[in-house]
Amino acid sequence: MISNFVKISAAITLFSSLAFSDDRKDTVLIVKDIVILGNEKTQEHVILREMSLKVGERITSTALEYDKNRIYSLQLFNKVDLDYTVEGEKATLFVRVSERWYIFPVPILGFKYRDPKNFYYGLGFVHDNFRGRNEKLVGSFALGFDRWASVSYQNPKITDDDDIFFRGYLSLSKVRNQNVSQGIYDQTVHTGELSLGKRMGLHHTLLGTAGYRRWKVSDPQPGRTVSITGVDSYVTIGVRYTFDTRDVREYATEGVEASLWMTKYGVGEGEIDLFRSGYDFRGFIPLGFAEAALGARAFGGFTAGGIVPSYLHSYFGYDERIRGHFSTVLEGENILGHSVELRVPILLPRYGTITSIPLPAQFSVWRFGMYAGFFADAGKIWYRGEGVGGRPWYSGYGMGLHFLLPYSIVLRTEYALNHQGAGQFVLDFGASF
């Protein structure tokens, strides 16, 4: 296991060095000043903290493109442009943005675990840019397959002079169990969580989290909870480190994201006493032809300690999927997964302005694009008593079309073959990784 971790770390380091090996001296111009235009609501520091170009830095085409993508990845703007005017060997850099609509009620419609049989519906209220500081206020409720009510607040920068961020979350939910081998039953879950983090420079983030959870099952049976009463209550404490240099977070084609995390479930004398740790490494390399990029992902999660209730098991077939076995549910206490994907643009991302019908400015500028994707996925899952070799790997490969739509929506239509040669069509939202 350790040797695999070292190999993966070395691969991510190679991805990172290759992704940033461009010539960074293609101009002699030095940034004299940075002027931001179009930010009627958003405060300037929200934009500036995403930029690698600072006053005194040398302007390069690579840095301009990278900063444009980083600002767009805030998901606050429909359009972002960077240009500059020259004054001798110095230049004034202009950042021009077109803001999105930030405050709106959101109809909630979806399929839990991306399964059409698991339909849910509800209503949410979202403020995506509270006080113009990229703070998020979200309240929502849903009915249907799973029911919940939740409220959250996120502040990415508590004061102008620091880079400390905060998040608070409260929810009450009634959810269906995932362990299909034990029949169907409901779980009532109370969750409260506080997170405090520190952003170190442009790419490094350290996050600490403390929370409380209470799980109650409708039909207590062995394995569904640790307590024989059918109710588990416990405190959680966790820490996560992330290194992120990706260009566009919603659909990256360059850069690296590497995360390491640890969580303790249960503190003191309670019946829950578990420790979980894991990693998630993603890298993207431009290939130098047709604007294509090669991406790879490796992730794992590992459990130690006492009894693991089913609601804390690891799963494929829900949030994590293996294309080719898209709906196959695999359950265990530890998980490993790998993916590679070639992304070839059919229509490079571009902006369009709707003029044929009257729309508010926040809805008239759209960004869209289309890629062909060629992929291979593999994963395995196992219980601690079985050992890592106790179960087989599952794998699949295929190709599809990926549509980049306005407001950071990604739609994927794909066809996959599994390791047994059986095929399936996949319709999914969001990038595969």
Looking at the structure, tell me whether residues 65 and 213 fall in a common domain: no
Q: What is the mean pLDDT of the chain?
A: 88
> Which residue, 99, 129, 158, sits at the end of a domain?
99
Residue 364 has pLDDT above 80, yes or no: no
Residues 94 and 181 in one domain: no
Q: What is the CATH number of the domain that holds 80?
A: 3.10.20.310
Instruction: Name the residue with higher pLDDT: 365 or 395.
Output: 395
Categorize the per-residue pLDDT at 180 as very low, low, confident or very high, splitting at 50, 70 and 90: confident
pLDDT category at 402 given cuts 50, 70, 90 is: very high
For residues 115 and 371, which has the higher predicted lDDT (pLDDT)? 371
How would DSSP label each residue in 52-72?
S--TTPBP-HHHHHHHHHHHH
The count of structural domains within the chain is 2
Q: Is the pLDDT of residue 159 over 50?
A: yes
CATH of the domain at 213: 2.40.160.50
- Regarding whether 207 and 79 lie in a shared domain, the answer is no
Q: Can you give 128-160 as a three-state secondary structure string?
A: EEECCCCEEEEEEEEEECCEEEEEEEEECCCCC
Beta bridge partners of 262: 239, 277
Tokens of 161: 């002079």
How many Å apart are CA 388 and CA 285, to the nearest integer? 30
Structural domain includes residue 24: yes
Question: Residue 23: its pLDDT value, please?
Answer: 45
pLDDT in tens, 29-82: 999 999 999 998 898 988 998 999 999 999 999 899 999 999 998 888 989 999
Domain boundary pick from 46, 64, 99: 99
Question: Of 99, 131, 162, which residue sits at a domain end?
Answer: 99
* Residue-range definition of the domain harbouring residue 268: 177-429
Q: How far apart are CA 160 and CA 164, in angstroms?
A: 10
Residue 335 included in any domain: yes
Q: What secondary structure, in 3-state letters, does 251-279 show?
A: CCCCEEEEEEEEEEECCCCCCCCEEEEEE
Is 216 within the bounds of a domain? yes
- CA distances 238 to 195, 265, 276, 277, Å, are 9, 9, 9, 9
Contact 400, 373 (CB under 8 A): yes
Lowest mean pLDDT among 157-166, 227-236, 259-268: 157-166
Residue 368's nearest CA partner among 410, 426, 429 is 410
32: left (phi > 0), else alpha (psi -120 to 50), else beta? Answer: alpha
Residue that the structure tokens 């202009």 belong to = 94
Amino acid 25: pLDDT: 54
pTM, two decimal places: 0.75
277-316, pLDDT tens digit by residue?
999 999 999 998 999 999 999 999 999 999 999 999 999 9
SS3 content of the chain, % helix, strand, coil (to 5): 10, 55, 35
Look at residue 168 and tell me if it is in a domain.
Answer: no
Grouping H, G, I as helix, E, B as strand and the rest as coil, residue 388 is: coil
